[in-house]
Every structure is written in C-alpha cells, then in structure tokens.
C-alpha cells in the first residue's frame, strides 16, 4: 500500500514518526504551514518557520525515504493579528521555491473581515504563481464557513479544480464536491473524522476527488491514520485500485497541478547547515 499524506505537520513530530510512517507505506507528504499554538508576534518568526519547511524538514524526511513538499501561507488565525499581516507582502519570494506545491493553509478560523481579506489575497497569489490552494474550513460553524469560503473562491481567479477544501465532514462534503473543488478529510483519534465515518463517506460519494490525511499536529493526533484508513477500506471491501486512488493518485493529481512534485527521494545528505538528526555520535 503506497501512501501520500497530503496534510501533515511534521514540525510537530519526531523522527520515530518518520520511521513508523515509512514502515506503514508513506512515501510522500505535504506539510502545510499552520498556527504553531503559541501566537507569533512578527513576520520574521514566519520566515524562520518557512525556511524550516523548505530546508530542515525535507532533510529529516529524506533520512527515512519520504519525499517532503510544503504549502506556505499566512494562516487564518494569525491573519487577524496586524503584526503578522506583512507576511502577505513577503509570500511571493517564497512561493517560487521548488518544493512549494500550493498556497496554504488559507481559509477561515473565526470568519472575520481580516480573514476575508487574507483569503482573497492568497487565492490571488495562488493564481498569480500557477499554484493550487489548500483551504482550511473552520472548526466552528463549518457549513456557514464553507459557503462563505466558496463565495470567495467564486470571486477569485483560481478555478475550483485547483482548490482543496480540507477538514470536511458529513455536513460539508456534498457542497464541496458539487463546487468542483477537491475534498479533504483529516482523520483524528477524537475529533473531526474517524476511519468508520470516512468509510461511510467513501461508500456514498465514491473515491473521486477525495483525499484523506492525518494532519498530525501538536495536539492528540496520529501520523498513521492514513494507513488506518487504507486498512479500513480494505476490510470494507474496497478494491486495491480504489485504495490507491484515495491514498496516492488523488493527492498526486491535485498537487501535481503545481508542476513541482518530485516523488523520488535522492540519497540523503549527512548534514543540513551543519546539523544532523543524530545525537551522541560522529
């Protein structure tokens, strides 16, 4: 079973997770930039984080045979802090980097006017740079947030087939698919979606334009949830072709629109800027 996790925050994970993911079949991933939990207070803290997603994390992933790509953006929550909004002006110099395969995570947290402005601006940046967009639907008032998101997308220059609407659930999936966008589901131990609910959605809607991810951030989460969905699909009678479509070919097709996917992994470098992942040895 080959797996492409299209949304996982490896900055929050250990090297043991990389090893377990490889053993489970993960061979590629996309790490979206997101809110780190502790609020940032200046654009420079974002730039250091972006540099880590472009350098240190691909280095770590390569040690375990996993191709690492990222998406970069001003996230919805911090779009409300005027100290952070200058990030929007600096994003163009990051969006030209080879391993950036989308603009994201963008979207809504509390559905404020500041979030409206940031979403519209970053959809335009995606269109300007020939990139797709990874859109975070809000955790609260999810259906209202999805409708508001779709309104902004329709007003943008980015066609819906270049948009992945993530963190969906049973109340939002039909609207997302009917819009022409791709549909993403984060599988969690306690919240959002679980494997059984995901199986029910796949049975009803089929596997086309559907992606599943583990998200696996700093909260209670599981970087092996993609594999667990694959195992649940197998147990539920889905074919190997359908499993491969959801876990590999769909994320490749969506992020492949960037023209930047490199799914092969070169022999890893021993050091990144003088540092290794080893401790206590040469």
Has residue 69 got a pLDDT over 80? Answer: yes
Q: Given this model, what pLDDT does residue 279 score?
A: 65
Tracing tokens 């970087």 back to the chain, one arrives at 223
pLDDT for res 193? 87
* pLDDT band at 280; cut points 50, 70, 90: low
pLDDT of residue 160: 98
Pairwise CA distance, residues 181 & 270, whole Å: 40
More confident residue, 272 or 99: 99
- The confidence band for 247, taking pLDDT boundaries of 50, 70 and 90, is very high
For the segment 36-52, the average pLDDT, to the nearest whole number, is 93
Q: What integer is the mean pLDDT of 15-31? A: 97
Tokens describing residue 108: 């809504």
Task: List 169's β-bridge partners, or say none.
Answer: none
Beta strands 67-72; 26-32: pairing state? parallel
Q: What is the mean pLDDT of the chain?
A: 94
pLDDT above 60 (res 282) = no
Sheet containing 67-72: order of strands: 3-5, 26-32, 67-72, 100-107, 133-136, 163-166, 182-186, 210-213
Average pLDDT over residues 114-133: 98
Residue % of the chain over a pLDDT of 70: 98
Alpha helices in 68-194 (DSSP H): 87-95, 113-128, 142-155, 173-178
Q: What is the per-residue pLDDT for 87?
A: 97
Residue 227, pLDDT score: 97
| pLDDT of res. 267 | 77
**Distance (Å, whole) CA 105 – CA 158:** 15
Q: State residue 118's pLDDT score.
A: 97
Q: Does pLDDT of 190 surpass 80? A: no
Whether 166 and 137 have beta carbons less than 8 Å apart is answered as yes
Q: How far is CA 218 from CA 9, 13, 53, 235, in A?
A: 8, 8, 16, 30
pTM: 0.94
Residue-wise pLDDT for 192-206, tens only, equals 689 999 999 999 999
For 204-233, how does the pLDDT look when each residue is reduced to its tens digit (9 = 90+)? Answer: 999 999 999 998 887 788 999 999 999 999
Average pLDDT over residues 164-190: 95
pLDDT at position 216 is 87
Residue 138, pLDDT score: 87
């Amino acid at each position: 079973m080959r797996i492409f996790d299209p949304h996982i925050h490896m900055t929050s994970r250990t090297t043991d997770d990389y090893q377990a993911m490889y053993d489970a079949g993960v061979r590629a991933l996309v790490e979206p930039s997101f809110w780190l939990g502790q609020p940032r207070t200046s654009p420079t803290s974002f730039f250091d984080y972006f540099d880590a997603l472009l350098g240190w994390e691909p280095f770590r992933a390569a040690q375990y045979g996993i191709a690492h790509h990222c998406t970069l953006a001003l996230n919805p929550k911090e779009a409300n802090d005027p100290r952070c909004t200058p990030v929007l002006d600096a994003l163009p110099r990051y969006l030209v980097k080879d391993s950036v395969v989308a603009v994201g995570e963008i979207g809504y947290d509390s559905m404020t006017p500041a979030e409206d402005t940031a979403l519209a601006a970053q959809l335009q940046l995606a269109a300007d740079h020939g990139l797709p967009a990874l859109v975070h639907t809000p955790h609260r008032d999810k259906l209202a947030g999805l409708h508001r998101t779709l309104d902004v997308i329709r007003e943008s220059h980015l066609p819906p087939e270049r948009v992945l609407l993530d963190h969906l659930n049973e109340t939002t999936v039909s609207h997302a698919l009917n819009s022409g966008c791709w549909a993403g589901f984060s599988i969690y131990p306690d919240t959002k979606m679980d494997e059984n609910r995901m199986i029910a959605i796949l049975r009803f809607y089929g596997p086309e334009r559907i992606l599943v991810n583990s998200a696996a951030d700093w909260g209670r989460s599981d970087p092996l949830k993609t594999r667990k969905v694959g195992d649940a699909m197998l147990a539920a009678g889905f074919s190997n072709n359908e499993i491969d479509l959801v876990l590999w070919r769909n994320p490749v097709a969506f992020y492949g629109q960037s023209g930047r996917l490199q799914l092969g992994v070169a022999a890893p470098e021993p050091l990144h800027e003088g540092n290794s992942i080893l401790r206590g040895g040469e």
